[in-house]
Chain A
Amino acid sequence: MAVRTRDGAAPPARSGEPARLRGARPRPPGRGAEFWWWAFMRVSGLVLVVLVIGHVLIMHVFGGGIDRVNFQFVAVRWQNPFWRTWDWLILSLATVHGINGLRVIILDYVRRPGARIAVTWLFYIVGILLFALGSIVVFTFDPSKWHA
């Protein structure tokens, strides 16, 4: 059976193959860009499990949840560079992990090449702009501007 590839993506696994049964993308062959994106999703995913579950438990579950979150709460929390770094790592890893996930999903569902490029780049641009906005705020935030 001929191997069908979609823009360098992994060939679709046939029903019954282990790759399909485990419910995930098979490892792309070789050491090209698709292999490194596949590897990035695993490495960033492992780091994000720790960072995001920690974030969710701290902000949404324990200590009263988001009802206690306001400007003053963020001002105190971001006095500590540890939490600024934690939040920025989630921002950067989750944005790239999520945008790449969307790219792989778009490869499956948007079949016309022009539309596929347009939708993929729309998300790239949204991701780049929001990553820039979030990074600027995390590293330049100074609550003393509003205490005077």
Chain B
Amino acid sequence: MAKRTSAFGRLYRGSEGQWSWIAHRVTGVAIILFLFAHIIDTALVGWGPNAYNRVVNVYKNPIVGLLELGLVAAVIYHALNGLRIMAIDFWPKLVDRNRQLIYATMTIYLAGMAPIAVIMIGHILKEHF
């Protein structure tokens, strides 16, 4: 439990496990809400090229491109944090190393996201600027 002293007294800031739990929920809800929209936009291929191309063109916009990067970041976080949870479920003793596992997960996450972000921002710049 990280308790820090400030001018207003002691402030509870949670622990790594709690933050990972909140992030897992927030990214999970974001992904399922996007999935609902994504099922509908993909289903429009069944209504022909005019309908599908019109809706897919909505995604080809620099603002939506940044949202797309955020979605990919959410998906990869949820995937890697889920693997960490499963690892502890299968090997319960790992819970003693949970803090280290979370930092290892975040290291892998940032190492993976950095090149993905460079490539995806490259798409936005190439297409719109």
Q: Which of B39-87 contact A (CB under 8 A)?
A: 39-40, 42-43, 45-46, 48-49, 52-53, 56, 59-60, 68, 72, 75-76, 79, 81-86
Interface secondary structure of B, over-half rule:
helix
- Contact pattern, A 85-111, Cβ under 8 Å of B = 1, otherwise 0: 001000100110011011001000000
Q: Do residues A74 and B45 form an inter-chain contact, with CB atoms below 8 A? A: yes
Q: Does A46 contact B (CB under 8 A)?
A: yes
Assuming A22-B17, A74-B45, A133-B43, what are 13 further A-B pairs, CB within 8 angstroms? A23-B16, A24-B24, A52-B75, A53-B79, A56-B76, A64-B123, A66-B56, A66-B59, A66-B123, A94-B32, A95-B35, A105-B28, A133-B39
Using C-beta atoms within 8 Å of the partner chain, give the interface range for chain B: 35 or more
- Residues on A with C-beta less than 8 A from B120 are 60-61, 65
In the complex, how many angstroms separate the beta carbon of B12 from the nearest chain A beta carbon?
11
- Which residues of B sit under 8 angstroms from A91, Cβ to Cβ? 39
A46 to B70 CA separation, bound complex (whole angstroms): 22
Interface membership of B92, Cβ < 8 A:
yes
Known: A52-B75, A61-B119, A61-B120. A67 touches B45 (CB 8 A): no
Q: Does A61 lie within 8 Å of B68, measured CB to CB?
A: no
Assess whether A140 is interfacial by the CB under 8 Å rule.
yes
At the interface, yes or no: B31 with Cβ under 8 Å from chain A?
yes
Does A5 interact with chain B (Cβ within 8 Å)? no
Chain A binding surface, main DSSP class: helix
Is the Cβ of B85 less than 8 Å from the Cβ of A49?
Answer: no
A18 cross-chain contacts in B, Cβ below 8 A? 92, 95, 98
Provide the residues of chain A in CB contact with B98, threshold 8 Å: 18, 21-23
Interface residues of B in 1-48 (CB under 8 A from A): 1, 15-21, 24-25, 28-29, 31-32, 35-36, 39-40, 42-43, 45-46, 48
* Inter-chain contact A53/B76, CB cutoff 8 Å: yes
CB distance from A102 to the nearest CB of B (A): 6
Contact between A24 and B85 (Cβ–Cβ < 8 Å)?
Answer: yes
Q: Which residues of B contact A60 (CB under 8 A)?
A: 68, 72, 120
- B42-A134 in contact (CB<8A): yes
Which of A21, A94, A101, A136 has the most CB atoms of chain B within a 10 A radius of its CB? A21
Which residue, A24, A102, A137, has most C-beta atoms of chain B within 10 A? A24
Q: Is residue B110 contacting chain A, with contact meaning CB distance below 8 A?
A: no
B116 at the interface (CB under 8 A from A): yes
Contact assessment for A67 and B60 in the assembled complex, using a CB-CB cutoff below 8 Å: yes
Report yes or no: B127 in contact with A67, Cβ–Cβ below 8 A: yes
- Cβ-based interface call for A130 (8 A): yes
